[in-house]
Amino acid sequence: MRTRTSASVAAVAGLLALPIALTGCSAFGVGDDGDDGGKVTLTFQSLAYQDSTIAATQEIVDAWNEANPDVQVELVQGSWDNVHDQLVTQFQGGTAPDIIHDESADIMGFAEQGYLADLSDPLSDDTKSAVSDDIWGTVTASDGSIVAAPTLLQSYVVFANTDAFADAGVELPAGDALAWDDFQSLATQVAGDGGFGLGWGLQQPTAAVMNLSLGFDGTYFDGDAIDVGANELAVPERIHAMAYEDGSLDPVSLTQSGSDVLPGFFDGKYPMYVAGNYIAQQITESAPEGFNWAVLPPLAGTAGAVQAANPQTMSVAAESEHVEESAAFIDFFMQPEHQAALAQGDWLIPSSTAARDLVAEQTAGYNGWGAILASGEGLSAAPFQSAVNYPQWKDQYATPALQQYLADEITVEELQAQLTDGWNSLG
Amino acid sequence: MSKSMRNPVARPLQYLALLAYMCFLAFPLIFLLTTAFKTDREIRSPDPSFLPQSLNFDNFTAAIERADLFQAAANSLLTAVTTTAIVTAVSLPAAYALVRFRTRLRAVATGWILLSQVFPFILIIIPLFLLLKDIGLVNTLLGLVLVYAVWALPFALWMLQGYVSAIPVELEEASAVDGAGRLKTLWKIVLPLLAPGLVATSLFTFINSWNEFFFALVLIQDPDMQTLPLALARFVGAEGQVQLGPLAAAALIACVPSLVFFMLIQKRLTAGLLSGAVKG
Amino acid sequence: MTALAAPAPPRRRRRSTEGRDAWLLVLPALLPVMLFSVYPLVYGVFLGFTDAEAGLNAETNFNGLDNYVALAGNELFWNSFKIGLIWAFSVTILQFLASLGLALLLNLNLRLRWLARTLALVPWAMPPVIIAIMWQLMLNPNYGPVNRTLESLGLPSSINWLGESAIALPVVIVVGVWAGMPQTTITLLAGLQSVPAELNEAAAIDGASTWRRFWHVTLPALRPIVTAITTLDLIWNFNSFALVFVLTAGGPGGTTMLPSLFAYNEAFRYGNFGYAAAMGNVMVVLIGAFLILYLRAQMRSRNS
């Protein structure tokens, strides 16, 4: 008993002594933030998450650091999943990185709160002329200041299991665009008996619906007023019909994430699979051997093969002490060869035309790239990006309402009402 | 003697119930354990076996590489140990004073201990965030330690009070009569008797800060400063690409320290909580 | 500390030095508590009456009851409050019943009791984040053992447990019960062990059945502990965050949006700090009122 007690005392004493040994301030992350000897260190919070893109980003940063010994860039890894919350706390806590990677639909609210530096002047003319005015519109705040450089664009594409198509005796569609009507009948054709033609991970449906709706002229917003009419509801209605009328779309997949559904595409359970084009990278990485796939022509609604452009963005924090240097890094980042490398890592489409041409040249003949780049031609600015309360509306109203509608729990009229009333209640 | 003994059905039913409980409690753990050793192919195989075909540690190496688990574990350890040290050092004298001296403080302290449980964290975290920002401790482990220490204090005090009041006052009085000073009495008589309770309390504090998530979520943004729960939560999130095997392995690694501590003090903790519950 | 080192003072002086000693000993605990928990709490309550929001150099103004007027009409908040109540009561009650059953079994002289007892403690040692991850794996629609077991029994097996709005909340409640059983079980077990054996024996001699003895002897003796643990469980469950945040993040369709998650989002996603603090205030007042009623009712029935 006695030895046991003293052992306990020793344990407590040890516990007490340990932190004293460890209490260097740096261990706790306090201090150590100064510039050493005129050298500037910029922090760049990147959201790249696929191994190929992380490597490409690192290479760009390394190249910059080598060329600019006085302005060093330190790469910090962030994550798409919590970027919004993280930026709120970082801005509020004064710990935001100098250079911020995000996407247009998410970042514009921060611009209105004054957290982002105006880059109209600091960005070079080369950068500005490389991107179309339409795309610049997605990163321009209500006071006319440019708060980010648009980098890569995403579109939604239809992936097809070519062997499954062959087995079903259905020909792969060709041409510049795939009309929604044709897409729907295609899904029934390849479904076969009792099977599904299509898997679509729409656990987070809002972005996909908003982007694709532009193909039907579904703009949702006009300034700060919402308008949900037939055009806006066309895409959700068609998805709903495929799941509950034709039975060609697996309703369970609608409640799952894109990567949850992917294995079903690999297994042949779903001959077609709709996702963001970046999924192509995952397909090349993890598809089973001998799996043959293709990207179908871009989906077209009544307004053509148009989708909303929601570019990834590079911004500079307003509180950064080195806005000029940060903008110079963004210029460097925007150079065609760098954008092309990043785009290929993520299978995304560069917003800069020079970079897009470079990608087309470098990927000529690769499976899928032609169709993906083609889908980029139809990307244009949509009003929802500049609606300030969009992120909150998306979380609190649009996503739940769309989820319920796609789970066949509410009617399309209820969906329309929830979307409209929700926006109006946010004031 | 007892009626239940005479009832021939009761015993088997009791064992059946116990078995059901054990399945409910243990199955998720066993599943986590087996998943951590399975290859990705085994996990996704359409016709899976319950046990892994072989012990493969690939998931563990993958998990460690991928989520910077070492850095996160080191951060968690540093935070939890420092918090525990501070809480122990501060709550021991306070608990002693609250029990032994009859002052109004005790009522106030008890009130505070109860009250601090009722308030939702959201009310505390916003001002705390602003406060830590003003003193430059947002996004630092030191800030996290301060917060953890303060919010672990009430429970530690409550537990320790139970242990202190279990020590007979007569022992101290006898020592005082023998001419020993109070400090000496504390050191020679009270502390050794309190040691088991102290160990239980400090390990409890350790586990609480090791497990904590909410404050870390708000206060820590820098990946280098992430604690283990934070790193793991983000590991899950990493856009769609959830690798089940490495995830299970990472989860398992994160449980090890607290499970080990827990096993060590299991008996004592139960006893300590009991005395706290009855006396406090 | 020097005051303590002095030889034991004579009896007469004892009272005054005692007070001073007490203060000295308590001060190291008191100061940080004042600074990092009393002050933030008071400040937090106050923020609930302001329009504090995110923004560079955003000004904060006192806005009286505006937040509460807005809250009164905020359907989403009340919906989330309702979800919070369903969650807290379901978890607390189920947890209590399950734990009571387990504690009664553990109190019997059964074989393998040690194993069950250890198992019952394990969830306590696991971070809530890990518990959530583990159950996500369990409930994975494609590879999780739950669906696989159903499949092998020939039952419907393509259920997305955490992804379908009709069942997500009940599923999350089951996970909550699993996670919270240790505290309740151990406390109840400790209580059972402190019930004097003579009481039960006396009742047994009188010929009372097992059930009657449980109802009329054990349960009344256990009452104070039951009150304490259910009260604490209820508070903890109502305020819980990490488990559901990782498990579903409030989805699908907001069906598992506990009030703590809702308020977190209001503050740290949408930047409305004052409004979020007001939600916190409403939560405290309503839960506080409920607790007072509950504890008073318990007290009264104990007295009668």
Annotate chain A with three-state secondary structure.
CHHHHHHHHHHHHHHHHHHHHHCCHHHHCCCCCCCCCCCEEEEEEECCCCHHHHHHHHHHHHHHHHHCCCEEEEEEECCHHHHHHHHHHHHHHCCCCCEEEEEHHHHHHHHHCCCECCCCCCCCHHHHHHECHHHHHHHECCCCCECCEECEECCEEEEEEHHHHHHCCCCCCCCCCEEHHHHHHHHHHHHCCCCCCEEECCCCHHHHHHHHHHHHCCCCEECCEECCCHHHHHHHHHHHHHHHHHCCECHHHHCCCHHHHHHHHHHCCCCEEEEECCHHHHHHHHCCCCCCEEECCCEEECCECCEECCCEEEEEECCCCCHHHHHHHHHHHCCHHHHHHHHHHHCCEECEHHHHHHHHHHCCCCCCHHHHHHHHHCEECCHHHHCCCHHHHHHHHHHHHHHHHHCCCCCHHHHHHHHHHHHHHHC
Pairing of strands A40-46, A272-276: unpaired
Q: How far is CA B194 from CA B160, B209, C15, C44, in A?
A: 8, 22, 25, 37
The larger pLDDT score, comparing residue C223 to residue A150, is at A150
Q: To probe the interface with B, which of C137, C171, C174 has the most B CB atoms within 10 Å?
A: C137
Residues B183-213: b if buried by 16+ CB within 10 A, e if exposed: ebbbeebbbebbbbbbbbbbbbbbbbbbbbb
Quote the crossing angle between the two packed helices C259-268 and B121-134, to the nearest 10°.
30
Chains touching C, CB cut-off 8 Å, 3+ pairs: A, B
Q: Which residues of A touch B44 (CB under 8 A)?
A: 263
Q: Taking the mean position of all CA atoms in its chain, how far away is CA C258? A: 13
Q: From CA B145, how far away is CA B84, in angstroms rounded?
A: 9
pLDDT tens digits, residue range B177-190? 777 777 777 788 88
Note whether ipTM > 0.90 here: no
Give the residue from chain C lying closest to A92, CA to CA: C54
- Taking the CA atoms of B64, B67, B68 and B69 in sequence, report the sign of the dihedral they define: negative
Q: Taking the mean position of all CA atoms in its chain, how far away is CA A52? A: 16
pLDDT tens digits, residue range C73-86? 999 999 999 999 99
Answer whether A29 sits within 8 Å of B221, measured CB to CB.
no
Answer whether A404 sits within 8 Å of C55, measured CB to CB.
no
What one-character-per-residue DSSP string does chain C give?
A: -HHHHSPPPPGGGHHHHHHHHHHHHHHHHHHHHIIIIIHHHHHHHHHTTB----STT----B-TTHHHHHHHT-HHHHHHHHHHHHHHHHHHHHHHHHHHHHHHHHHS--TTHHHHHHHHHHHHHS-HHHHHHHHHHHH-TTT-HHHHHHHHTTS-----TTT-TTTHHHHHHHHHHHHHHHHHHHHHHHHHHTS-HHHHHHHHHTT--HHHHIIIIIHHHHHHHHHHHHHHHHHHHHH--HHHHHHTTT-STTTT--HHHHHHHHHHTT--HHHHHHHHHHHHHHHHHHHHHHHHHHHHHHH-
| Confidence check: pLDDT of B16 > 60 | yes
Is A255 in CB contact (< 8 Å) with chain C? yes
pLDDT attached to residue A293 = 93
pLDDT tens digits, residue range B216-263? 999 998 888 999 999 888 876 544 456 778 888 888 888 887 777 777
Is A407 in CB contact (< 8 Å) with chain C? yes
| Confidence check: pLDDT of B142 > 70 | yes
Q: How far is CA B61 from CA A78, B225, B269, C136, in A?
A: 22, 21, 34, 22
pLDDT values of chain A reduced to their tens digit, one per residue, 427 residues: 344 444 444 444 444 444 444 444 455 655 444 455 678 999 999 999 888 899 999 999 999 999 999 999 999 988 888 899 899 999 988 889 999 999 998 898 899 899 999 999 999 999 999 999 989 999 999 889 999 999 999 999 999 999 999 999 999 998 889 999 999 999 999 987 788 999 999 988 999 999 999 999 999 998 789 999 999 999 999 999 999 998 999 998 998 888 888 888 998 899 999 999 888 988 888 888 899 999 999 999 999 999 998 899 999 999 999 999 999 999 999 999 999 999 998 889 999 999 999 999 998 877 788 888 888 888 988 888 878 788 889 989 999 999 999 999 999 999 999 999 999 988 7
Residues 6+ apart with CB under 8 A from A264: A199, A250, A253, A270, A273, C142
pLDDT attached to residue C274 = 94
Instruction: Work out the average pLDDT over C187-207.
Output: 80
Select from B146, B130, B142, B139 the least CA-distant residue to B222. B139
Q: From CA A102, how far away is CA A315, in angstroms rounded?
A: 8
Secondary structure class of B7 (helix, strand, coil): coil
Answer whether A76 sits within 8 Å of B141, measured CB to CB.
no
pLDDT attached to residue B47 = 66
Q: From CA C252, how far away is CA C257, in angstroms rounded?
A: 9
Structure tokens at A52: 């190929």
User: What's the count of helices (H) and strands (E) in chain B, helices before strands?
Assistant: 14, 0
Answer whether A28 sits within 8 Å of B145, measured CB to CB.
yes
Pairing of strands A99-103, A40-46: parallel
Q: From CA A44, how far away is CA A60, in angstroms rounded?
A: 12
Q: From CA B258, how far away is CA B262, in angstroms rounded?
A: 6
pLDDT attached to residue B61 = 84
**End-to-end Cα, chain C, rounded Å:** 49
Q: From CA A212, how far away is CA A234, in angstroms rounded?
A: 10
pLDDT attached to residue B120 = 86
Q: How confident is the model at residue C12 (pLDDT cuts 50, 70, 90)?
A: very low
| Most confident of the ranges A184-188, C164-168, C249-253 | A184-188
| Confidence check: pLDDT of C143 > 90 | no
The larger pLDDT score, comparing residue C141 to residue A235, is at A235
A window 18-37, beta carbon within 8 A of C: none
Over pLDDT 70: what percentage of chain B? 86
| Confidence check: pLDDT of C15 > 70 | no
| Confidence check: pLDDT of B76 > 60 | yes
Structure tokens at C252: 């699908």
Is A391 in CB contact (< 8 Å) with chain C? yes
Select from A364, A157, A409, A192 the least CA-distant residue to A277. A157
Q: To probe the interface with A, which of C47, C51, C56 has the most A CB atoms within 10 Å?
A: C56
Q: Taking the mean position of all CA atoms in its chain, how far away is CA C170? A: 17
Q: C11 CA to chain A: closest CA distance, Å?
A: 32
Q: How confident is the model at residue B279 (pLDDT cuts 50, 70, 90)?
A: very low
Q: C240 CA to chain A: closest CA distance, Å?
A: 19
Q: Which residues of B touch C157 (CB under 8 A)?
A: none
**CB-defined contacts A:C, below 8 A:** 73
Structure tokens at A131: 């991107």
Other Cβ atoms less than 10 A from the Cβ of B153: the count is 27
pLDDT attached to residue B258 = 76
pLDDT attached to residue B271 = 56
Nearest-by-Cβ selection for A22 from B44, B78, B198: B78
Q: What are phi and psi of C208, to 5 degrees?
A: -75, 145
Answer whether A260 sits within 8 Å of C54, measured CB to CB.
no
Burial, A1: exposed, middle or buried (Cβ in 10 Å; 0-12, 13-18, 19+)? Answer: exposed
Q: To probe the interface with C, which of B108, B119, B210, B253 has the most C CB atoms within 10 Å?
A: B119
**Contact between B149 and B259 (Cβ < 8 Å):** no
Is A174 in CB contact (< 8 Å) with chain B? no
Cα dihedral angle (A339, A343, A349, A355), rounded to 10 degrees? 30
Q: From CA A235, how far away is CA A307, in angstroms rounded?
A: 12
Chains touching A, CB cut-off 8 Å, 3+ pairs: B, C
Q: C54 CA to chain A: closest CA distance, Å?
A: 6
Helix (H) or strand (E) holding B119: none
Q: How far is CA A219 from CA A133, A206, A405, B97, in A?
A: 19, 13, 19, 68
Answer whether B241 sits within 8 Å of A77, measured CB to CB.
no
Q: From CA C300, how far away is CA C304, in angstroms rounded?
A: 6
The larger pLDDT score, comparing residue A76 to residue B158, is at A76
Q: What are phi and psi of C125, to 5 degrees?
A: -80, -5
pTM comes to 0.87
Select from C201, C192, C4, C170 the least CA-distant residue to C91. C170
Give the residue from chain C lying closest to B271, CA to CA: C190
Burial, A164: exposed, middle or buried (Cβ in 10 Å; 0-12, 13-18, 19+)? Answer: buried
| Confidence check: pLDDT of B267 > 70 | no
Select from A378, A424, A366 the least CA-distant residue to A397. A424
Average pLDDT of every residue of chain B: 81
Q: A128 CA to chain B: closest CA distance, Å?
A: 31
Q: From CA C8, how far away is CA C4, in angstroms rounded?
A: 8
Pairing of strands A99-103, A152-153: unpaired
Chains touching B, CB cut-off 8 Å, 3+ pairs: A, C
